[in-house]
Amino acid sequence: MTVASAAPRSLAADTASAVDDTATLVAPLTAGPGWAEEIRRLARERDAVVLAHNYQRPEIQDVADHTGDSLALSRIAAASDASTIVFCGVHFMAETAKILAPEKTVLIPDARAGCSLADSITADELRAWKAEHPDAVVVSYVNTTAAVKAETDVCCTSSNAVEVVESIDPDREVLFLPDQFLGAHVKRLTGRQNLHIWAGECHVHAGINGATLTAKAQADPDADLFVHPECGCATSALYLAGAGAVPAEQVHILSTGGMLDAAKNTTKATVLVATEVGMLHQLRRANPDVDFRAVNDRASCHYMKMITPGALTRALVEGRDEVHVDAATADKARGAVQRMIEIGRPGGGE
Ligand code: SF4
């Protein structure tokens, strides 16, 4: 599936579209009074666990059983006793949950919720690239489709990308995809010249750039900078921080869990946050006394925001949209994901 060309839509538009084909729904479609209780009741009725990515709308995060990054949520999905996983995130994340928990029913409240970074390389493009470098080891960031993961030797998160690459025979070529910022970061840290980088990026967050980051840091020189390395939106900030665009002692590259811990313990009055703006909801809840500010307040993933209260209601009432990954693809992709989990601290503490 691909939705890279889907335009951002308003909450009202989303809710309206969810209503169109759900005339039999009796549950509330907006996050008004009684909505959260109804979602909890519906989840129990369906034997479902509701997972929400950190970049989801606040009301979705608040109603979910668990909130976290994609890999942590996939691990929870695999370990859960629930027979149904409702994954409030983007499609590749729900696919990863299905790969790790093939016996469970995995639902995503709106299957059109894609990812521009995952869509920046197809399995056909990867096969063609591999043909040019037949002896190379393929390392894919976790923001990839199941079909791309099936062509991959080992997946990585941005937390363990360096360790994954360092674990590979230095004489072997490495094809690193799809995020060019994370690839550049890994190349700089490993000094590896035989690492080839796919020129993909998350265009949603192209606004988190060097000029913005530097200007924000200079405007508030005492503020700390939290950079969350998991999603593609943060990898450009990760690269810039590593390149010295902002003072190193003020830059904290943190997992979600680390970011929340740091939020509780910070002595700073202001913290600049370089990631998708959905994360601010949890940080402000963790420490209401601190002024958490987005480095770029337009860094909002409209794919993530397609998961509306109405879409979640519909998912639980109607059991849709179900995520399928064919068994052969899932088997191949699972190997790459499991190798990722074995190396370093993929998403540790998140
Ligand atoms: S923020 Fe970017 S990388 Fe993350 S899910 Fe959205 S489009 Fe994909």
In DSSP notation, 51-87 reads: EEETTS-HHHHHHSSEEE-HHHHHHHHHH-S-SEEEE
Q: What φ, ψ does residue 173 adopt, rounded to 5°? A: -70, 150
Q: Is residue 10 very low, low, confident or very high in pLDDT (cuts 50, 70, 90)?
A: very low
**CA 260 to chain centroid:** 17
Please give the mean pLDDT across all residues of the chain.
84
| Residue 18 CB partners (closer than 8 Å, separation 6+) | 29, 110, 308, 310, 311, 313, 314
Give CA–CA dist 258/266, Å, rounded. Answer: 12
CB of 137 within 8 A of CB of 174? yes
Distance 33 CA to ligand 1 centre (A): 31
Q: Do 105 and 10 share a domain, yes or no?
A: yes
Q: Measuring from each residue's beta carbon to the nearest atom of ligand 1, which residues come in under 6 Å?
A: 90, 115-117, 143, 202, 204-205, 231-233, 276, 301, 303-304
Atom of ligand 1 at shortest range from CA of 116:
7
Task: Round to the nearest angstrom and report the end-to-end CA distance of the chain.
Answer: 28
Q: Do 310 and 257 share a domain, yes or no?
A: no
Q: What is the 3-state secondary structure (H, E, C) of 10-22?
A: CHHHHHHHHHHCC
Write the pLDDT tens digit of every residue in 21-79.
444 565 667 778 899 999 999 999 999 999 999 889 999 999 999 998 777 888 899 89
Cα–Cα distances in Å, from 107 out to 19, 74, 98, 171, 320? 18, 13, 9, 42, 6
Give CA–CA dist 254/69, Å, rounded. Answer: 12
Give CA–CA dist 228/186, Å, rounded. Answer: 16
Write the pLDDT tens digit of every residue in 275-325.
888 889 989 999 999 999 998 888 889 999 999 999 999 999 999 999 999
Q: Do 101 and 65 share a domain, yes or no?
A: yes
CB of 274 within 8 A of CB of 237? yes
Residue with tokens 């869990």: 257
Out of 250, 278, 294, a domain closes at 294
Residue with tokens 């950190």: 54
Q: Do 288 and 309 share a domain, yes or no?
A: no
The closest residue, in CA terms, to atom 2 on ligand 1 is 202
Distance 268 CA to ligand 1 centre (A): 29
The closest residue, in CA terms, to atom 8 on ligand 1 is 115
What confidence score (pLDDT) does residue 144 get?
Answer: 96
Cα–Cα distances in Å, from 148 out to 153, 177, 331? 10, 10, 13
Q: Greater confidence, 344 or 71?
A: 71
Write the pLDDT tens digit of every residue in 72-119.
888 899 899 999 999 999 999 999 999 999 999 999 999 999 999 999
Distance 115 CA to ligand 1 centre (A): 5
Cα–Cα nearest to 176, from 194, 159, 202, 150? 194
Residue type, 140: S
How many distinct structural domains can be found in the chain?
A: 2
**CA 125 to chain centroid:** 22
Inform me whether the pLDDT recorded for 6 exceeds 60: no
Q: Do 83 and 213 share a domain, yes or no?
A: no
Distance 205 CA to ligand 1 centre (A): 8
Q: Do 329 and 189 share a domain, yes or no?
A: yes
Mean pLDDT over residues 144-150, rounded? 97
Atom of ligand 1 at shortest range from CA of 118:
8
| Residue 317 CB partners (closer than 8 Å, separation 6+) | 22, 25, 27, 42
Q: Do 9 and 148 share a domain, yes or no?
A: yes
Out of 272, 294, 316, a domain closes at 294
Distance 66 CA to ligand 1 centre (A): 20
Distance 202 CA to ligand 1 centre (A): 6
Angle between helices 11-20 and 309-318 (to 10 degrees): 20
- Mutate which of 202, 230, 295 for ligand 1? The one with the most ligand atoms within 8 Å of its CB, which is 202
The closest residue, in CA terms, to atom 7 on ligand 1 is 115
DSSP 251-287: EEE--HHHHHHHHHH---SEEEEES-TTHHHHHHHH-
Q: Do 318 and 272 share a domain, yes or no?
A: no
39: helix, strand or coil? helix
Distance 301 CA to ligand 1 centre (A): 6
Residue type, 182: L
Distance 158 CA to ligand 1 centre (A): 14
Q: Do 175 and 282 share a domain, yes or no?
A: no
What confidence score (pLDDT) does residue 235 get?
Answer: 57
Q: What is the CA radius of gyration of the chain?
A: 20
Mean pLDDT over residues 210-235, rounded? 73
Q: Do 6 and 150 share a domain, yes or no?
A: yes
Identify the domain containing residue 66 by its residue range.
1-202+301-350
Distance 267 CA to ligand 1 centre (A): 31
Structure tokens at 104: 């469970």
pTM for this entry: 0.84
Q: Of all residues in the chain, what percent carry a pLDDT higher than 90? A: 56
Question: Is the sign of the CA dihedral 293, 297, 302, 305 positive or negative?
Answer: positive
What confidence score (pLDDT) does residue 32 get?
Answer: 83
- Mutate which of 54, 141, 276 for ligand 1? The one with the most ligand atoms within 8 Å of its CB, which is 276
Q: Do 67 and 35 share a domain, yes or no?
A: yes
What confidence score (pLDDT) does residue 184 get?
Answer: 84
The closest residue, in CA terms, to atom 6 on ligand 1 is 301
Q: Do 139 and 6 share a domain, yes or no?
A: yes
Domain of residue 340, CATH code: 3.40.50.10800
- Mutate which of 71, 87, 205 for ligand 1? The one with the most ligand atoms within 8 Å of its CB, which is 205
